[in-house]
Structure formats: structure tokens, C-alpha cells
């Protein structure tokens, strides 16, 4: 008896089934991959929290400065918060989110990776001055980029304080980057790390007690607990 092969219709049906399965499974695989990257990012932030705590212990409970100017090898640049805690971790990859494009190198005075320090801590705040450490942002995902002037820190914007807004965030500063399936990973002052959705982090209405976000000293009429609890 002569053995029959697949007909063209049968082959087309098989190809169609494979295409349908691929369309279903590829997004699932992509989500799983991003979930793994998010977990790795959270691990980075957790280790940063431990490093910042160790730094504070060595410097009379003072948090690192966001940045100050130094000259190394004839080059003057910003000595960022990452440089200050690097001796406690000694791992450059720690400062590069797996889901971000930009990386960070410890020798680069004017380049920052993809994590931003809460701008309200730029002046070496005391841990004892923070009233609610579990509700105060310390470090989080930012867009990242080669510009040191706006990539090593993270802060909200206010039209009255920082100039015109684009949406909720001033483009001249590093705003939180929601790159983990619409979530941003945040390290809080007490050391815990949590993924936050946009609506949970960007609550700006001053009528909500303790929720809105304030600006510099001239704009401190509104107290916002997520950013400056002192």
C-alpha cells in the first residue's frame, strides 16, 4: 500500500497552529523574562540599601550626599552617591538595572547608570531626622543616560518650584522609570524594596494629607511623605 504524505492543507493547518501558539506563548516568555529582570533589579536595590546603611553607620548616621565636586587625575566632576557607597559593594553591575539601557562604571565621574537617589537627600540628611523611613523614597529606577546633571538623582516636579511640567514630572530631572511592566522598583529608607505603580507613587494632590510632593525650601508649604519626611 502506497504511503501518503501530508497534503498542502494539512501543512497549512499545522503552520497556522504553530503561529497561534507562538503568538500566545511569546508574550508569556517575555513577561517571565521581564519578571526575572525585575527581581534582579530589586536585589540590586536591596544591596544598595545595605551599603547605604553601612555608610551611615560609618558616618555618624548621615546618609550619603547626592553629589559633590571632586578632582581626580586632573579631571573635575561630580562624586555621586554611587561612588560613596561603592566601597561597600565593589560591584559596578549593581548600579545597572537589567531592564535599562545605560550602565555605570565606577571610574566615570560624569556618568550615571539607571538608578536615582531621592533629591531631598542631597545634603547628607541624618537618618534620625526622617520620621517615617518605611514611607520615604531613597533610591529608584530612573530613565538612565549619559548626562550626569540629571541621571543620578530622582525627584518629582512642581511647576511652582522647578518650572513647567511635562505631565507630572519635570523633564530636566530624572523621573521614576516604570520599566518593569508599568512598575518602578523603589528602595525605601528603612531598607525594604517594593514595586510601585504610577498611581501609587505619583499622587500629587495637596488636599491628600501627607501624599503630595514638595519642592525646594521656598516651596515647602506642602509636605509630601513619599519624598521628604523630615
How far is the C-alpha of 167 from the C-alpha of 170, rounded, in Å? 8
How far is the C-alpha of 161 from the C-alpha of 68, rounded, in Å? 22
- CA-wise closest residue to 174 among 138, 203, 145, 135: 145
Q: Are 52 and 121 in contact (CB under 8 A)?
A: no
- CA-wise closest residue to 106 among 127, 83, 88: 83
pLDDT of residue 130: 81
pLDDT tens digits along 65-87: 877 766 556 655 667 888 889 99
Residue 43 — very low, low, confident or very high, per pLDDT cuts 50/70/90? very high
pTM value > 0.75: no
pLDDT of residue 194: 92
Q: Is the dihedral of CA 55, 57, 58, 62 positive or negative?
A: positive
CB atoms within 10 A of CB 94: 20
Q: Are 227 and 156 in contact (CB under 8 A)?
A: yes
Q: Please give the grid coordinates belonging to residue 228.
A: 521628604
pLDDT of residue 77: 62
pLDDT of residue 83: 85
Q: Are 214 and 137 in contact (CB under 8 A)?
A: no
Please state the rounded mean pLDDT for residues 106-117.
68
Tell me which of 110 and 123 has the higher pLDDT.
Answer: 123
pLDDT of residue 103: 66
Q: Please give the grid coordinates belonging to residue 171.
A: 523633564
Please state the rounded mean pLDDT for residues 190-198.
89
Amino acid at each position: 500500500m502506497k504511503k501518503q504524505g501530508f497534503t498542502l492543507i494539512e501543512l497549512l493547518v499545522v503552520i497556522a497552529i504553530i503561529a497561534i501558539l507562538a503568538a500566545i506563548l511569546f508574550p508569556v516568555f517575555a513577561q517571565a523574562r521581564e519578571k526575572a529582570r525585575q527581581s534582579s533589579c530589586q536585589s540590586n536595590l536591596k544591596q544598595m540599601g545595605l551599603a547605604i546603611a553601612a555608610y551611615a553607620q560609618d558616618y555618624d548616621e548621615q546618609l550619603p550626599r547626592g553629589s559633590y565636586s571632586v578632582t581626580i587625575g586632573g579631571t573635575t566632576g561630580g562624586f555621586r552617591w554611587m561612588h560613596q557607597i561603592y566601597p561597600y559593594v565593589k560591584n559596578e553591575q549593581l548600579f545597572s538595572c537589567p531592564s535599562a539601557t545605560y550602565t555605570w562604571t565606577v571610574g566615570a565621574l560624569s556618568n550615571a547608570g539607571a538608578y536615582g537617589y531621592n533629591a531631598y537627600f542631597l545634603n547628607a540628611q541624618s537618618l534620625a531626622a526622617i520620621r517615617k523611613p518605611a514611607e520615604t523614597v531613597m533610591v529608584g529606577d530612573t530613565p538612565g543616560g549619559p548626562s550626569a546633571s540629571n541621571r543620578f538623582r530622582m525627584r518629582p516636579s512642581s511647576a511652582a518650584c522647578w518650572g513647567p511640567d511635562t505631565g507630572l514630572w519635570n523633564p530636566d530631572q530624572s523621573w521614576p522609570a516604570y520599566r518593569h511592566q508599568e512598575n518602578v522598583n523603589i528602595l525605601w529608607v528603612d531598607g525594604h524594596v517594593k514595586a510601585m505603580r504610577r498611581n501609587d507613587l505619583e499622587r500629587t494632590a495637596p488636599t491628600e494629607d501627607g501624599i503630595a510632593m514638595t519642592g525646594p525650601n521656598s516651596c515647602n508649604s506642602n509636605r509630601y511623605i513619599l519624598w521628604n519626611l523630615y
